[in-house]
Structure 1
Amino acid sequence: MDILKYIIVFFIGLIVGHFNGVFIHILPENKPLNKPFLKYWTSYFIKGIWTKVITGAIFVLLYEKYGLTADFIFFAYLLSILIIMFFVDIKTKTIPNTLVLAGLAGGALAFLYNLFHPLVIYDTNKWWEPLVGLLPGSGFLLLIAILGVIIYKSDEVMGMGDVKIFAPIGIFLGWKMCTLSLLISMFLGGLTSILLIVFKIKKRKDTIPFGPFIAIASLIVILWGKYIWAWYFSQL
C-alpha cells in the first residue's frame, strides 16, 4: 500500500508539473492566461517531460519527508513556483512579478495557518517567525543591490527579481532556514561562476541568472535544512 501512495503522489506531481511547464512557456512571452489556456495545455502535453518528472520526483521527496500534511501542501506549492522560476530565469534572466505575487499569496496563507497549527519548518510557536523570515533573504540581497549601484554604478550586481522572490521564501521557511537557503544559494552560485570562468564558458563580466540557485538551495533546505543547521553548529 505504501508504494501505491508514492505512485499516486508522483502522478499528482506529473499533473502539477504539466501546469508548471505551461507557465514556463507562457510567462516569458507575456501571453494572456485566459483565452488560449486550453490550447497551451494540449500543445505542451508531450513537451517539457523533464518538468513533469522533476515535479513528480520532488513531490515524492516531500511526501517522504512530511507525509500528507499541511507542510507538504505548502512546500509543494512553493517549490512549484520555484520550478517555474528556475526555467524562466534561465530563459530570460528575469523573475516575473507574477511568481513573486503568487508566492506571497501562498506565504500569507501559510502564515495564517501557522497561527493556529504551527508548521514543522519553523520549529517554534512564535507567531512572528514567518515575518522575520523576510529579512535575511530579501533584506540582505537588497543591500547588495544598493551597494552595487553605489560602488559599481550598475544595477546588474543583483537583480531585483532575486530580491523579491526571497520575500515569499522567507515567509515559508522562517529566518533560520531562509538564512541557510541564502548561504547555500550564494555558495552554489559562486562555485558555478568560478567553474564557468575557469573553463572559459563565461567571462568575468558576464552575468548568470541567480534564480536557479535560489530554487535548488530552497529545495535542499526544505528537505534537509534542519540537519545541515544542526550539523554546522555542532562543529563550532
Structure 2
Amino acid sequence: MQKAAEAGSGPHYLALRDRLAEEIACGALGAGARLPSERRLQLGSGAARGTVREALFQLEAEGLIYRRDRSGWYVSPPPVVYDPTRWAGFMTYVAEQGRVPTTETLHQHTVAAAAVDAAVFGCAVGAPLYALARRRAIDGRPVLIERILVDPAIAPGLIDHDLDGSLTAVLTGRYGVRVVRNHVEMRPCALIKDIAQALGVASGTPGLLVVRRSYDAADRIVEYDHEYWRHDAIRVLVEVRTRD
C-alpha cells in the first residue's frame, strides 16, 4: 500500500524537502540558521523518522543545508564563485566577494616524491618536495582542506615562511614566480577520515575535489594542488568567449 501511494504522489520525503526549501528560499530560515531537530521535524510533519532523514539528505545533496558534527543541521551560507582559469588566490577572490577568508597551516615540511608525484614534476622518485596542508575558512566556517606540493627549486626555503595567508602572494612577491597556465580537473568526492575531521563534518559528507597544476613561463610546475571542498561552499563559473 505504501509503495502504491508513493507511486501516485511521489516519495513522501519530497513534501518535507519542498517545505524546508521554500522556508530557506523566502528567508524564514536564513543562512547559518539551525534547523529544528529531527525529532521536532518528525512531530511537526507527522512523517516517519526515515522520511525526515531522506528529506534532510536530499537538501544536503543540493547544497542547501549542512551538518555540523554532533550539533545538528544548518542552512548553508551562499557559495563563493570560483573561476579555475584565474590564478587569483583564495584570499583574493573570497575577499573580492565581500566575504572573510582565513587560512590555517596544518603542516609544512619536506617529503620524498612518490612515484605519482615524481611523474607530475618530472623529477626522480625520492627527490625532495615541499608539502603543505592548510585548512581554509570563509566567514569562520571551514570549507576546504588543501594539500600542495611545490618544487624547492622554484621557491627555496618556502616552508620557512608563514603560510597562513596567501601562498600566491608569497610566491609572487618573494620569489618572482608568475603563473601563465593552469590545468584544472574537478570531480565529486566524499570527505572522509582526516579531511572530514579537519572540516568538522561526518565522514562521507559530499565534497568537490579540485586538482590544479600551475605552470610558469618556462613550463615548470609551480604548485600541484589538491583542494577538498565542501560541495555547498563553492560555485564554479567560467566565462568562455567564442570566436567568429
Q: Same fold by TM (over 0.5)?
A: no
TM-score grouping bracket, smaller chain normalisation: under 0.3
Question: Under a length normalisation based on structure 2, what TM-score does the superposition of the two structures give?
Answer: 0.27
Structure with greater helix share of residues: 1
TM-score by length of 1: 0.27
